Amino acid sequence: MPLTKLNSASVIERLPVGSVIETKSSTVNSMVTQSAGGIGTFYDISGMSVAITPKFASSEILVTYSINVSNSNTERNDTIRLLRGSTAIVGTGGTNHNATEYFRIGSQWHIRNINGNYLDSPNTTSATVYKLQWSMEEGLGVLNRRGGSTDFSTISTITVQEIKQ
């Protein structure tokens, strides 16, 4: 059965709660690097952002991501955080460094896959950008490749879906 794009607000309003109204996604299939600025200094991950304009202020936005990261140094504390616009969506229980994800690469020869999801209630019909940022304690952060060689390559994605409420 072919997919049908719903454009009419009256048709969308008749959909049951929990229906996906729209989906937007961004994929990075190349290597991205970032020099460390110290733990707690965050940088946008190039290409890992996606914008969505909710059709209804009552909608929720399901954000899912799958990223592959490494570092040129071993045993470093690195973090990832999700943002809605300029607002970080992070844990608040840490005394120093709050993030969405924490990872520690045991070797520069490893690639760490990090998957996450978050159901957000932005309460707007304005364009909203969701993005990922990273922070590295030391070394060179690497997206989609091992920190110690160019032998292997992966892809990373971020997807947002408007969910009818």
CATH of the domain at 98: 2.60.120.760
Q: Apex CA 14: angle with CA 10 and CA 17, to 5°?
A: 130
CA 84/CA 90 separation, integer angstroms: 11
Domain that holds residue 144: 17-163
pLDDT at 110: 80
Q: Within a domain: residue 12? A: no
Q: Within a domain: residue 140? A: yes
Q: Within a domain: residue 111? A: yes
Look over the chain and give the mean of its residue pLDDT values, rounded to a whole number: 87
Number of structural domains in the chain: 1
Q: Within a domain: residue 48? A: yes
pTM exceeds 0.85 for this model: yes
Quick one: three-class SS letters along the chain? Answer: CCCCCCCCHHHHHCCCCCCEEEEEEEEECCCEEEECCCCCCCEEEEEEEEEECCCCCCCEEEEEEEEEEEECCCCCEEEEEEEECCEEECCCCCCCCCCCEEEECCCCCCCEEEEEEEEECCCCCCCEEEEEEEEECCCEEEECECCCCCCCECCEEEEEEEECC
Q: Within a domain: residue 3? A: no
Q: Within a domain: residue 99? A: yes
Q: Within a domain: residue 9? A: no
Per-residue pLDDT of 49-108, as tens digits, reads 999 999 999 999 999 999 999 888 887 778 888 999 999 887 666 655 566 666 667 677
pLDDT at 147: 81
The share of the chain scoring above pLDDT 70, in percent, equals 85
Q: Within a domain: residue 7? A: no
